[in-house]
Structure 1
Amino acid sequence: MVEERKLAVLRAIVEDYVATQEPVGSKTLVERHKLGVSPATVRNDMAALEDEGLIAQPHTSAGRIPTDKGYRFFVDRLTTLKAMSAAEKRAISSFLEDAHDLDDVVQRSVRLLAQLTQQVAIVQYPSLAKSTIRHIELVALSTNRLLAVLIMSTGRVEQRVVELPVELTDELIGELRLRLNSAAAGERIATAATALGALPEQADGAKSSAYTVIVASLVEAMSNHSTDDRVVVGGTANLARFGDNFEHSIRPMLEALEEHVVLLKLLGEATTSETVTVRIGTEGPIDELSSTSVVATGYGASDEALAALGVVGPTRMDYPGSMAAVRAVARYLSTILDEA
């Protein structure tokens, strides 16, 4: 019972400090949270929490604030996340479903996540290396020129105009389309490239040269972004709103967030769409961001995450709300990719 009460006191301190930005006193806790015990008992619990390094007293005769260890203890013991309202769910769904292409989806996701959490939002583009080939389409442009369209499970579409050394017929285009899709559709990029590379040797005469040209163009399209780890950031100004919450100047933080490799490191542990990861303060990989927390998760059209997204904000953040928003946007984004 004592441990449960101490956890309730810690939870109340975290919630009040996040809401008010002011150190929290025992009398305030009793009045606001109806803990069912006296202020003296709460003070004893607060003293025990302070001894354990979960809260701290910033000034003499002041209330208490959570430490990074306290936030971690609080997050690890969250049993439920804050539920998204029906209006928020509809807003997320309609905002993302109106997107025209992958770039639009990613840009919209960044803006939406920043608005929902009032934090800095980060969205990584889906990894082409982890994606599969959904379909290859061929469209005749002239008697010896066609448009090869490569559609991937990430929603990315690559197009190449190909000049062929043979005259195109409906029969030949149909054969090319059938054999290309039989070799590559449903396969990962590396496997598809190998399978496509074998097609010229399996074709006869002039058709072999046609396959050679088309396959070379498709493989080039596949590898064009094979190391593509693009990341989009939104809501950086939100971090500036919390300037008083950081121990040092906010400038190094903003400069760090401009570095591509830093953004990838922040999302580094979010390798699955099933789990929301939270790194608090110095748990993160970047010294300049040691006064912030990162909430992130993976997303993708399959069990394995194709990429990650998340938010960066002060350690004094609404963890249940931020975690719920990150998870919700990731799930909608995964659904959109799956239906693309």
Structure 2
Amino acid sequence: MTVLPAIAGVLTAQQVDATGAAIARMQEDSGALPWFPGGQTDPWDHIESAMALSVTGRIAEAEAAYEWSRRHQREDGSWPIRTVAGKIVDPNIDSNFCSYIAVGVWHHYLITGDTGFLDRMWPTVWSAIDLVMRFQRPDGAFRWAGDHRTGAMFDHAQITGNASIFQALDCAVRIADEIGQPEPGWAGAHGALGDAIRERPDIFEPPSDHSMDWYYPILGGAVRGRAGQELVARRWDEFVVEGLGIRCVDHRPWVTGAETCELALAVDALGDTDDAIRLIESIQHLRDPDGSYWTGLVYADDKRWPVEKSCWTSAAVVLAADAVSRTSAGHGIFRDVRPGVSAEERSA
């Protein structure tokens, strides 16, 4: 029997289970987990939603989602950026989107201990990471996207996507080691990216007014300790709206549940679990009676926007609740990311 996450005074296990059920209801017959029923599926949010299914004990549904990823992976190791009801809407490649399969697969393995699942998904993970490795620049950063038709890559490196790739590479290295097929090149790329994020942030596109560009270096695991605490403090007052969540964009009166829960995961990884719990509590006003979560609230007008209950928002709540309650065997998937081998160690 699955033991479900709970946060005293914030979320009961029964409520978390209802959120898992709400995610499962949005799953298409193909296994895809779209943003909302009839909406788009992208390969990153699809995996995040599958992770929440694993946490809530919906193993068959989670594995149907991973099977969707396995079946729909293209020969070059990629997935289209956007698919709607099985039809490709944007065929191009986002390097971060493609890398995230490693995070989900490792997380599901931690929860289930199923070596058969890991072996079955290994070719998919290998092909995806092999593709993503081609996007790494000489300075250690990863180009953000590419044209699937021509193979051309867009040279810009975005901090949010790179921070997520950092976590994905760590998970990919762990998978390769677990099945006895170590990939030293992946470990080297992971270390070089970590050095770039921590020591040369100027090589990335300047941080935008979106909150993700603020906290993702912590969420992805590249920045920890005092540096992480200083990074959080730097823009806390710009984004955090006490009692309501965090702004998605620093100058707009719009709080969003997913970003708030991701910040909770980030500060929990720094050891600030009490702050993480308060953040999760602050967005419970987005909870629907059916267990799902609305994407956001324009608090200046007290109106939900967009008017949708997004699969990935519900997933972020589940993952945050699991992290702060230390419940599933995958609760440390964000907290336990390794810093990577330093340049000095790589040259030794």
TM-score of the superposed pair, with normalisation by structure 1: 0.23
For the pair shown, the structure with the greater C-alpha radius of gyration is: 1
**Structure richer in strand, relative to its length:** 1
